[in-house]
Amino acid sequence: MTRRRLIIDCDPGTDDAIALWLAFASPEVEVALVTVAGGNAGLESTLRNARAVVALAGQSVPVVAGADRPLLGTFQAEVKVHGTDGLAGVRLPEGLPACPGQAADAIRDLLRAAAPASVTLVGIAAATNLALALATEPALADRVDEIVLMTGALGEGNWTPGAEFNAAMDPEALAILLATGRPTTLATLDLTAQALVTPARAAALRARGGGHCLTACCDIMDAVPPSRRLGHLGHALHDPCAVAWIVAPDLFTTRAVAVQVECGTGPGRGRTHIDRWGRSGAAASARLLETIDANGFFALLGDRMAALR
């Protein structure tokens, strides 16, 4: 089996942390680079958290800091979900220092040295770092086999009534990625809502017993408040869905869709207009993850997390 090489761009972030651990625990992939943006918390916190998450899993993958603001405007941390520290108060041991330099440069350096269509970009934050890399050297997009993003919403948003957080923080960056023409897969809020962390699922995971990463994962799951958008039944495990698509695609059903993201300054900023039924006549520009086998997903997560140290 050829292991897919991933660049994971993140803003840890409670769900980002679990997404990273799932990737590290999955033999189908090799995480070649972790880049960090601000978002769920300020860049200082998200970078500290990324270093700690990588270290807890005993990984030596380079961690590189990136954007502390979107292409336009500022990041606005989602404190209600992730707390001021970014990990809902769950403390992890200090990780190794970040690598010097800027995320966009590190992404371009890795892509420049890669074979065609050999690297998967996994975006689980505002798309700023990935967009900066590809906008400044567009030819490198041919080294990318797939762009997998946790972003957008078919229905209700979670940052504004119509916009999901990552898309809302930097819609211009998302538009740049959607325009690359590379195969792009979207895990929207409508998909991630199906990956609902309920108290029963969190307890079942903890009962499996495991190492530091599983324990920290369960501590995080217990610390994140239930979502009022989801009827207080639990909280959506957003970012791990993007990784699960890569390592276990059979858990999903998909649909080719045309997607546009709304920029500008109106109330719809960051809204992803996803055309499920081809009403716009526009050509499909992305693969929408429509359903996930939630029980299969949590079984996968448990199996993989239990194997981590």
Out of 128, 158, 184, 188, the residue judged to bind ligand RIB by CB under 6 A: 158
Q: What element of type H or E holds 206?
A: helix 199-208
The single residue among 104, 124, 174, 308 that binds Ca ion, judged by CB under 5 A, is 124
Please give the single-letter amino acid code of residue 244: A
Per partner kind, with CB cut-offs from 5 to 8 A, the member of ligand RIB, Ca ion, none near residue 164 is ligand RIB
Residues contacting residue 162 through CB under 8 Å, at least 6 positions apart? 153, 156, 267, 268, 270, 271
Q: What gap in Å lies between CA 54 and CA 126, rounded to an integer?
A: 20
Strand pairing category for 144-150 and 184-187 = parallel
Binding-residue total with Ca ion (CB under 5 A): 6
Q: Which is nearer to ligand RIB, 114 or 202 (CB)?
A: 202
Nearer to Ca ion, 190 or 239 (CB): 239
CB of 106 or CB of 167, closer to ligand RIB: 167
- The minimum distance between CB 15 and ligand RIB, in angstroms, equals 5
What are the angstrom distances between the C-alpha of 304 and each of 20, 31, 40, 206, 261? Answer: 12, 15, 25, 13, 34
Q: Tokens 């495990």 label which residue?
A: 237
Query: Residue from 21, 165, 252, 298 that binds ligand RIB (CB under 6 A)?
Result: 165
DSSP letter (8 states) at residue 1: -
Q: If binding is defined by CB under 6 A, does position 20 make contact with ligand RIB?
A: no
- In the complex with Ca ion, the residue whose CB is nearer, 13 or 234, is 13
Q: Nearer to ligand RIB by C-beta: 4 or 235?
A: 235
Closest Cα to residue 53, out of 44, 63, 66, 43? Answer: 63
Q: Annotate each residue in 229-248 with x if it binds ligand RIB (CB under 6 A) or - if it does not, as one string.
A: ---------xx---------
Establish whether 238 is a catalytic residue: yes
The nearest distance, CB 116 to Ca ion, in angstroms, is 28
* Segment interacting with ligand RIB, rule: CB under 6 A, options 9-17, 92-100, 130-138, 178-186: 9-17
Q: Which residue is nearest to ligand RIB (CB)?
A: 165
Question: And the tokens for 109?
Answer: 């350096």
Q: Which residues in 51-90 contact Ca ion (CB under 5 A)?
A: none
Query: What Cα–Cα distance (Å) separates residue 2 from each residue in 44, 241, 292?
Result: 35, 21, 24
Quick check: 10 and 107 in contact, CB under 8 A?
Answer: no
Binding segment (CB under 6 A) for ligand RIB, from list 10-18, 88-96, 269-277, 287-295: 10-18
Return the number of the residue (184 or 192) whose C-beta is nearest Ca ion. Answer: 192
- Cβ–Cβ under 8 Å, residues 160 and 267: yes
Measured CA to CA, the distance from residue 173 to residue 128 in angstroms comes to: 5
Q: Shortest gap between Cβ of 39 and Ca ion (angstroms)?
A: 6
Report yes or no: 268 and 260 within 8 Å, Cβ to Cβ.
Answer: no
Give yes or no for residue 164 binding ligand RIB (CB under 6 A). Answer: yes
Q: Output the smallest distance, CB 150 to ligand RIB, in A.
A: 5
**Helices and strands in the chain, H and E counts:** 12, 11
Q: How far is the CB of 304 from ligand RIB (least distance, A)?
A: 19
Query: Residue 88 burial by CB count (10 A; 0-12/13-18/19+): exposed, middle or buried?
Result: buried
Residues near ligand RIB (CB under 6 A): 11, 13, 15-16, 39-40, 124-125, 150, 158, 164-166, 238-239
Known catalytic residues are 238
